[in-house]
Structure 1
Amino acid sequence: MSTAALARDDRMPLALTVNGRAVRTEAEPRTHLADLLRDTLDLTGTHLGCEHGVCGACTVLLDGEPARACLTLGGACEGSVVTTIEGLDDDPIAAELRAAFNREHALQCGYCTPGMLVAARDLVIRLPEPDERRIRAGLSGNLCRCTGYAGIVRAVRAVIAERRARGIPAAAHGGADAVRALGPVGARTGTTAAAGSTTAAARPSVAAPAAILDVADDFEPAHGFAQTFAAAHAPEAVFALFGDVEAVAACLPGAILLGTPRPDAVEGALQVRIGPITARFAGRARIWRDVPARTGRILGAGSDAGGRSATEGEIRYRVEPGEAPGTARVVLAVGYTLKGPLAQFGRPGLVRDLAGRLTADFARNLEARLSGAAPAPPADLHPIRLILGLLLDPLRRRFAAWRGPRP
């Protein structure tokens, strides 16, 4: 069979709305939204620059939020509404921005301009006032090699000031928390409150997803990693606590129970905040425990509030004796699959780093609970530290390999 025939066999049907028009097409599972728009739909106003989600030239609106088209898989946009720069021809905000960009000399070669206008339009809608710091933060994901940004910032400030002077307010999700809501698609998913463990009385109400997701017993994760931590308590005590679902949820930052858990199943939500990005997944998990072997398995699936991003995953754990008498060592094997717009933030290195920090918080809270003390509040996860950790990990591994094993 020829390569072309193989490609045709691998194509999947796709239905979405692009610039107000219903579109039915086919695409390979690996096709990114930017390639689909440019090569299949001939919407070449969406430019491709770095193709790594850094420069922002490919920014489009995905269900009303700015998204990187070069990182978003076309298949993940099934049923979505996509608006490109061509779809903003008759948009009044985009028209004001185009005029301001011309007036303030905010463009030169124009290659970054389509993505810049899409991002700027989002800021005009949401920011309550023409705050330069917030504008620069909101445009920090759109790179320009020509202008020096001064004219771009002046143009966006001018449009915001003019619209507020005409009595056009910011959207309801702007306001005082707008600076925390800045960011691409997924950044405003769920609440902007920092993730943290709560007591049953203080837990906020969480709406369950429209359809509670389930996952098959033979689930095969796309990514996986291992984690271990030590506990200064006997293995029997640690394993017994793992059997108390409410106690585990109280120790895990961001975990919220929905209803009364059963020994073999639980419905709940997990919300995690990484800088300006807050993700909250609600769903169901099934639980298996082997008491004699002190092992267990948690298999679950969930979706975000809009149901467009979903995750499936499993945690296998083993509680074994620690190095010192009366201590325990917990070995975790984590596997997961992330789908939808939030998958563009789910790089394995970042997820592994995030899981490491959550595991460290969980271990501290578990120690506190077994010792009768109150759990410590979780620290916010700063995106710069996460990225630096991701970049430095390969250097640490190379240095360790160069040094060789210690005598």
Structure 2
Amino acid sequence: MTPLVLTVNDRAVDAAIEPRTNLADFVRDKLDLTGTHLGCEHGVCGACTLLLDGVPARSCITFAVTCGGARVTTIEGLDHDEVAIELRAAFTREHALQCGYCTPGMLISARDLVLRLPDADEQRIRIGLSGNLCRCTGYVGIVRAVRSVISARRARGIAPVSGRAGLGPAGAGHQIGVCTASARLTRVQDVEAADTGAPIVIPDFTPAMVLDQHFDIAHPPERVLEIFGDIVAVAACLPGAALTGDPKPEHVTGAIRVKIGPIAAAFQGAARIERDPASRSGRIIGIGNDARSRSSTQGEIRYRLLPLDGGAATRVELAIGYSLKGLLAQVGRPALVRDLAARLIAEFASNLDRRLSGGAMDAVAAPAKDLNGLSLLFGLVCGQLKQWLRHRGGRGDTA
């Protein structure tokens, strides 16, 4: 369980939750604020919209643990809000609701438009509400209601308020308690301090997700352990990885580039290296952040080398743990991450085998290409399709 301290509807909340809990489930199940509705649970329909630090946010794809220190406002917290009161009256007057399931999220998004838009521009209102889906009304009454409130407020001389000054996901940068250390340590300037000779501190942590993987390689454990002690060689075998400073025995600074469709990230970070040659095991624990998406991560890789075939080959057992915060956490579905990690490790094992074999040293020594999640995902889909076809073929044979 992870401690969480935040403010919900102007009330301080201190709770212990599982890291996987999303904000929608937290406010509904833990706080009994059921005005926040769950629809698609993929961040598409907008039924779960609430205010996170005053900004509309999808609570179904926001992990509650990333909201430490943030100010959360649900539809219940707007009972006495001036704009919400005007909107509720307008929705009633313009027949802007039927079943009402989308209405809480719709009102929160509409309130944001009333506050921000300079005038009652129908096109801008429709664009602003395009992330809130309604299957009943056809939107005509909803748009009319929002336009009427904006027009009335501007006629009374109430000026629009400015939008957000900063970039990044709503509520980002407010983690407190256990989150403060990780948020501070994953800033680029803290990581870069390692290159200036300043001491670098990389804390232990409890991963939100742990993946167990293994692969076999046709080389003796002593030879594999020797390579694992050469961080330059390991980085050369890892797709998308590059060192940014001179490696030291206890830590290293570097970067890893990831691209999944239109989403590109370049994590700058540092890692602490631990090795136990006697047990042929070790651990690499690291921190990093992507400045563009304001996403941060902590991760660790525990490895153990086991002899196979009388010591002629090696099984590499891996336990990969990670925690991801920020925008990229919203697309990092566990099943997708697990499958992509398996294919990444397969590519790493192939590069490692070539380096140990010594037959393609030049190719392996070249800068590693970016980790392209889209191509990995395409390979995954092809693999699943082949498996399905084999299954169907097997069924046909036995019919």
State the identity as a percent.
48
CA distance in 2 between partners of 1:116 and 1:131 (Å): 16
Distance 1:251 1:33, change over 3 A: same
> Partner letter of residue 263 of structure 1?
P
2:335 maps to 1:349: yes
> Partner letter of residue 285 of structure 2?
G
Task: Check conservation: 1:116, 1:139, Cα contact below 8 A.
Answer: no
Aligned residue for 1:352, secondary structure, equals helix
1:23 pairs, out of 13, 17, 21, with 13
Q: CA deviation at 1:344?
A: 5.2
Distance 1:334 1:42, change over 3 A: closer
Task: Check conservation: 1:107, 1:147, Cα contact below 8 A.
Answer: yes
Query: What is the 5 A alignment of 1:214-253?
Result: 214-215=203-204, 222-226=209-213, 243-246=229-232, 248-249=234-235, 252=238
- Considering only aligned residues, what root-mean-square deviation do their CA atoms show, in Å? 6.2
Task: Check conservation: 1:77, 1:340, Cα contact below 8 A.
Answer: no
Partner of 1:325: none
> Partner letter of residue 367 of structure 2?
P
Distance 1:241 1:84, change over 3 A: same
Partner of 1:302: 287
Partner of 2:177: none
2:196 maps to 1:207: no
Deviations 1:78-98 (A, max 9, x none): 433322234456778878987
Task: Check conservation: 1:126, 1:171, Cα contact below 8 A.
Answer: no
Q: CA deviation at 1:58?
A: 1.9
Task: Check conservation: 2:295, 2:329, Cα contact below 8 A.
Answer: no
Query: What is the 5 A alignment of 1:121-200?
Result: 139=130, 142-147=132-137, 171-173=164-166
Distance 1:119 1:317, change over 3 A: farther
Aligned residue for 1:23, secondary structure, equals strand
Partner of 2:321: 336
CA distance in 2 between partners of 1:81 and 1:52 (Å): 23
TM-score when scaled to structure 1? 0.56
Partner of 1:288: 275
Q: CA deviation at 1:215?
A: 2.9
Distance 1:86 1:227, change over 3 A: same
Q: CA deviation at 1:35?
A: 4.3
CA distance in 1 between partners of 2:123 and 2:347 (Å): 36
Q: CA deviation at 1:17?
A: 0.9
Matched length: 356
1:375 pairs, out of 367, 371, 374, with 367
Q: CA deviation at 1:262?
A: 1.5
Aligned residue for 1:302, secondary structure, equals strand
Task: Check conservation: 1:221, 1:335, Cα contact below 8 A.
Answer: no
> Partner letter of residue 59 of structure 1?
T
Larger-gyration structure (1/2): 2
Query: What is the 5 A alignment of 1:385-396?
Result: 386=377, 396=386
Partner of 2:299: 312
Q: CA deviation at 1:402?
A: 5.1
CA distance in 1 between partners of 2:215 and 2:108 (Å): 44
Partner of 1:201: none
2:104 maps to 1:114: yes
Distance 1:62 1:271, change over 3 A: farther
Aligned residue for 1:43, secondary structure, equals coil
